[in-house]
């Protein structure tokens, strides 16, 4: 049973560029959440997708957007990259996004903005 997978593993971009990160949820899961983990900090919630719609959003600007596909996989897009966007981006999946559900995390994508 494959767990949550993310691609790419590492990414280097320059300021002002755009980036797309990808996530495939754990088998049987239909809810995908994205988190940003800056160096030395705990993960911060970006948004959650369920049934191909953004269901909840954290305190992130509109430069951060996402998408969920019919097969439940998801993309995170970040436009007009800033140096402060450098972080580990984590994807998590859960069965239905209930508050009692465990979220299972992927290995993350390390984004470096120069």
Contacts with another protein, residue ranges (CB under 8 A) = 4, 6, 31, 33, 35, 40-45, 48, 50, 55-56, 58, 90, 92, 94, 97-108, 110
User: Please, what is the minimum distance in Å from the beta carbon of residue 50 to another protein?
Assistant: 6
User: Please, what is the minimum distance in Å from the beta carbon of residue 81 to another protein?
Assistant: 22
Q: Give every CB contact of residue 106 below 8 A, 6+ residues apart in sequence.
A: 3, 4, 5, 6, 23, 90, 91, 92
Task: Decide whether 15 or 107 has the Cβ nearer to another protein.
Answer: 107
Task: Decide whether 18 or 52 has the Cβ nearer to another protein.
Answer: 52
Round to whole Å and give the CA distance between 3 and 64.
25
In whole angstroms, how far apart are CA 15 and each of 9, 47, 81, 83?
A: 19, 23, 5, 6
User: Please, what is the minimum distance in Å from the beta carbon of residue 97 to another protein?
Assistant: 5
Judged by DSSP in three states, 84 sits in helix
User: Please, what is the minimum distance in Å from the beta carbon of residue 24 to another protein?
Assistant: 13
Task: Decide whether 15 or 57 has the Cβ nearer to another protein.
Answer: 57
102, 71, 35, 37 alpha-carbon torsion, rounded to 10°? 100
Task: Decide whether 34 or 85 has the Cβ nearer to another protein.
Answer: 34
């Amino acid at each position: 049973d494959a767990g949550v997978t993310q691609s790419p593993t590492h990414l280097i971009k320059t300021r002002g560029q755009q980036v797309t990160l990808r996530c495939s949820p754990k088998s049987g899961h239909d809810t995908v959440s994205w988190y940003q983990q800056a160096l030395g900090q705990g993960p911060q919630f970006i948004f959650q997708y369920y049934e191909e719609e953004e269901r909840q959003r954290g305190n992130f600007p509109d430069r951060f957007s996402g998408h969920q596909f019919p097969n439940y996989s998801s993309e995170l897009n970040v436009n007009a990259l800033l140096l402060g966007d450098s972080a580990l981006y984590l994807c998590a999946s859960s069965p239905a996004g209930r508050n009692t559900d465990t979220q299972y995390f992927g290995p993350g994508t390390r984004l470096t903005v120069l």
